[in-house]
Structure 1
């Protein structure tokens, strides 16, 4: 009989199950992915609640996940999910990077079991580059530039963004609010399949 390493306490696993769309096995697989993403020795095999919220990996380590390696929004995704723990007071204001708790939340939102409304909420946050609660022209331009990787001129990007606003800005304020954005996303048949990471 060998010694079995306990990654999380029963209480931690129960808490994680309550807060995510994952089973215990899936949570442990996600921890393995988090550890594999880190340099050797950065993340312990067994994590206390404090370590799960404080041991942070640089955001550029997210490029080590195949599903995010080529994603043009990888950095923005990392910032949105890492910011959640900062906003909730779970990390010090000087903390940079993504901790396991952030990573687990990110994977939960990108899971196939997460509801569409939650995915839409986070997609909006990812595209809201200036974080003002609206997708204005500058947010739409940045989103478009990220998607086309310099394949369009500034004028072409402006035309596309103006068309998006013309078709989707119901209240005429030259920006998309979360409800208008949701209306746009519900018309995109492939949104749910693209807003997904396998574990």
Structure 2
């Protein structure tokens, strides 16, 4: 039986990732093992199709969008440190956790989680969620359970309620304000690391 710290030695950028993401050494090691499992050909980089092995993503109606969040425009692969930084958005928020010398909010802060969620809707990455983008996500999430007319109605109501500046789109600030009362930590937490 090796210790977690000795096992961690083969994890790339381990100390930096522990500090930056707040994952424990055991969680980081578990994520590295998961990354290696997904990296079927051992190239140290994941492509979008490597995520097909994650059953929960395959079953999620917006799984493709979640996978896409790992790959910024023009980036076709993701390395282990990037993989961990993305997954840090889904860590439960620790209310009293102080980050030594941190200049930015942690990925698992309320704002970090909201920014991640926002990008799942902002398909063209212009900083706004248009009615068309909202409809596209709603179609994927609801599928054949609702009619097109119902989808249009849901999108219209969401835009009306959230669009405070009346530009017919939802900015990040409007998105954040519309979700003030939502427990985003509960909705965007992966508990498999416990």
2:177 counterpart residue number: 183
- Identify unmatched segments of 5+ residues in structure 2: 94-107
Matched, 1:75 2:64: yes
1:196 to 160, 181, 189: 189
1:150 to 144, 150, 156: 144
Aligned length: 174
Matched, 1:31 2:32: yes
Q: Distance in 1 between matches of 2:179 and 2:49?
A: 28
User: Does structure 2 retain, via aligned residues, the 8 Å contact 1:145–1:157?
Assistant: yes
| Residues 143-186 of structure 1: per-residue CA shift (max 9 Å, x gap) | 11111023223222111100001111111111111111012222
1:52 counterpart residue number: none
- Relative to the length of structure 2, the TM-score reads 0.79
- Relative to the length of structure 1, the TM-score reads 0.77
User: Does structure 2 retain, via aligned residues, the 8 Å contact 1:136–1:174?
Assistant: yes
- Identify unmatched segments of 5+ residues in structure 1: 44-54, 87-92
1:100 counterpart residue number: 80
Q: Distance in 2 between matches of 1:17 and 1:133?
A: 30
2:45 counterpart residue number: 56
Matched, 1:172 2:166: yes
Task: Name the SS for the 1:176 alignment partner.
Answer: strand
Q: Distance in 2 between matches of 1:125 and 1:98?
A: 17
| Residues 103-158 of structure 1: per-residue CA shift (max 9 Å, x gap) | 11121111113211110011001111121110110111011111102322322211
The alpha-carbon distance between structure 1 residues 8 and 15, as it changes in their structure 2 partners (threshold 3 A), is same
Task: Name the SS for the 1:135 alignment partner.
Answer: strand
| Residues 23-79 of structure 1: per-residue CA shift (max 9 Å, x gap) | 22211110011112232x415xxxxxxxxxxx3222132232244232222222222
RMSD: 2.3
Matched, 1:20 2:9: no
